[in-house]
Amino acid sequence: MAKALFDKVTLIGLGLIGSSLGHAMKRGGIAREIVGHARSTKTLQTALKIGFVDAVFEDMGRAVEDADLIILCVPVGICGSICEQISPHLKQGAIVTDVGSVKGAVIAACSPHIPAGVHFVPGHPMAGTEYSGPESGFAELFDNRWCLLTPLRDGDQQATTKMIDFWQACGANVETMSAEHHDVVAAVTSHLPHLIAFNIVGTADDLEGITKREVIKFAAGGFRDFTRIAASDPTMWRDVFLHNKDAVLEVLGRFNDDLGALTKAIKDGDGDKLFDQFERTRHIRQNILDDEQDK
Ligand code: NAP
């Protein structure tokens, strides 16, 4: 087995991402010991029973004691308060990272609580499913997916390199970028599509003259895919939109303009405009298939 990258890793939050990281670390022999903390006793017991952690602690401070790597796998809105609580218990030289879908707001909330001598390397694996909780994770979640790291300007280079090694050992491809850039990329590729899904499924549910039964019964491929995305965790997504407000509003503005142009093309019976747009977007799908990012 490969040499472990870390002696002790603590996962705070043991849902989809936390449990998948536990499984991936076990698969790759990445940590000698994995300990976990979550909000509820039920989650702690489930995690221990499944076995993607070696030990669990109700007390967050005890969970992070002596840990070389602490990974925050909780909704983005509480990352700051978690950092504040663990701060006095962190050992010198430890790395704190997170997996939050928003980076600027998480960095602003966490940075003030990272003690001198502890390294903060924010991150975001671009991998997920619509499921949540400790039973939803699996070791392969990050395989051939991208993990975006957004190191701080004055951050420790060695700690960043170690996190690149970590994510690669979990199966991911890694790219580093600024938090500002990340938040726009995530707004376009993930946040806006989720917002559209939440909206379209809500609209279908509200339409007069079409019963809920019909929506379910006749759901064709396109709509069915939207319902899968719209089944994602409400707490996580509420926090994403509250904390990536500026970037989401920026891309939403562009989206509304483009939707307006398509609406006009339909009104005007402008088939060429519609065809050209659909032809252009079809190529993007092919690029994703070529990149093996469709699964
Ligand atoms: P999840 O399955 O709902 O799990 C969230 C975990 O956080 C649970 O174990 C929960 O504990 C714990 N938690 C919540 N509040 C807590 C608190 N105050 N103290 C300690 N633990 C607390 O969520 P997830 O999908 O893994 O998402 C976690 C993070 O990953 C989010 O920041 C999200 O933005 C990011 N992310 C998600 C995806 C995705 O597709 N889901 C993809 C990439 C990144 P209990 O179980 O005890 O309630």
Query: Of 46 and 291, which is predicted with more confidence?
Result: 46
Mutate to test the pocket of ligand 1, among 14, 42, 73 (most ligand atoms within 8 A of CB): 73
121 and 147 in a common domain: yes
Residue 3 has what pLDDT?
81
Among 146, 177, 208, identify where a domain stops: 177
100 lines ligand 1 (CB under 6 A): yes
Are 162 and 201 in the same domain?
Answer: no
Give DSSP secondary structure letters for the chain.
Answer: -PPPSEEEEEEE--SHHHHHHHHHHHHHT-EEEEEEE-S-HHHHHHHHHHTSSSEE-SSHHHHHTT-SEEEE-S-GGGHHHHHHHHGGGPPTT-EEEE--S-SHHHHHHHGGGSPTT-EEEEEEE----S--STTS--GGGGTT-EEEE---TT--HHHHHHHHHHHHHTT-EEEE--HHHHHHHHIIIIIHHHHHHHHHHHHHHH-TTS-HHHHHHT--HHHHHHHHHTTS-HHHHHHHHHHSHHHHHHHHHHHHHHHHHHHHHHHHT-HHHHHHHHHHHHHHHHHHHHTT---
Phi and psi, residue 238, nearest 5°: -60, -45
Domain end among 153, 177, 201: 177
Neighbouring-strand partners of residue 176:
149
The domain boundary, picked from 159, 177, 195, lies at 177
The answer on 14 and 118 residing in a single domain is yes
pTM: 0.94
Is 213 a residue whose pLDDT tops 90? Answer: no
| Same domain flag for 146 and 58 | yes
Ligand 1 mean position to 16 CA, how many Å?
A: 7
Closest C-alpha to ligand 1, atom 1: 15
Residues 125-150 have pLDDT tens digits of 999 999 999 999 999 999 999 999 99
Does ligand 1 come within 6 angstroms of the Cβ of 109?
no
Judge whether 71 lies within some domain.
yes
Kindly give the distance from the C-alpha atom of residue 236 to the centroid of ligand 1, in angstroms, as a whole number. 7
Q: What is the distance between the alpha carbons of residues 101 and 189, in angstroms, rounded to a whole number?
A: 11
The string of pLDDT tens digits covering residues 56-114 is 999 999 999 999 999 999 999 999 999 999 999 999 999 999 999 999 999 999 999 99
For ligand 1, the distance from its centroid to the CA atom of residue 12, given in whole angstroms, is: 9
* pLDDT for residue 254 is more than 80: yes
The pLDDT assigned to 2 comes to: 63
Q: Is the CB of 122 under 6 A from ligand 1?
A: no
pLDDT band at 209 (very low <50, low <70, confident <90, very high): confident
- pLDDT of 221 > 80? The answer is no
Task: Indicate if 40 and 152 belong to the same structural domain.
Answer: yes
Q: Do 165 and 37 lie in a common domain?
A: yes
* 119-125 and 146-149 beta bridge pairing: antiparallel
How many structural domains are present in the chain? 2
Residue 15 lies in a domain: yes
CA 192 to chain centre: 14
* 269 and 167 inside one domain: no
Residue with CA closest to ligand 1 atom 18? 39
The answer to whether 241 and 191 are in contact (CB under 8 A) is: yes
In this structure, what token pair is assigned to residue 26?
């076990």
- Which numbered atom of ligand 1 lies nearest the CA of 240? 34
Same domain, 221 and 250: yes
Percent residues over pLDDT 70 in the chain:
98
Same domain, 201 and 144: no
| Among protein residues, the one whose CA lies closest to atom 25 of ligand 1 | 16
Asked if 83 and 167 sit in the same domain, the reply is yes
182-208 tens-digit pLDDT: 999 999 999 999 999 999 988 888 877
Ligand 1 contact via 21 beta carbon (within 6 Å):
no
The reply to whether ligand 1 has any atom less than 6 angstroms from the CB of 36 is no
Assess if residue 34 is contained within a domain: yes
Residues 6+ apart with CB under 8 A from 231: 130
Average pLDDT score over residue span 242-254: 97
Ligand 1 centroid, distance to 275 Cα (angstroms): 41
Measured CA to CA, the distance from residue 96 to residue 103 in angstroms comes to 14
**CA distance linking residue 5 with residue 47, whole number of Å:** 22
Give the CATH number, domain containing residue 238: 1.10.3660.10
The predicted structure's pLDDT at residue 1: 53
For residue 194, give its domain range. 181-290
Q: Are residues 55 and 152 in the same domain?
A: yes
For residue 295, is it within any domain?
no
What separation in Å is there between the alpha carbon of 228 and the centre of ligand 1?
18
Distance in Å, CA 133 to ligand 1 centroid? 8
Structure tokens at 84: 């504040």
**Per-residue model confidence (pLDDT) at position 217:** 73
Q: Do 158 and 13 lie in a common domain?
A: yes
State if residue 10 touches ligand 1 by the CB under 6 angstroms criterion.
no
Q: Is 76's C-beta closer than 6 angstroms to any atom of ligand 1?
A: yes
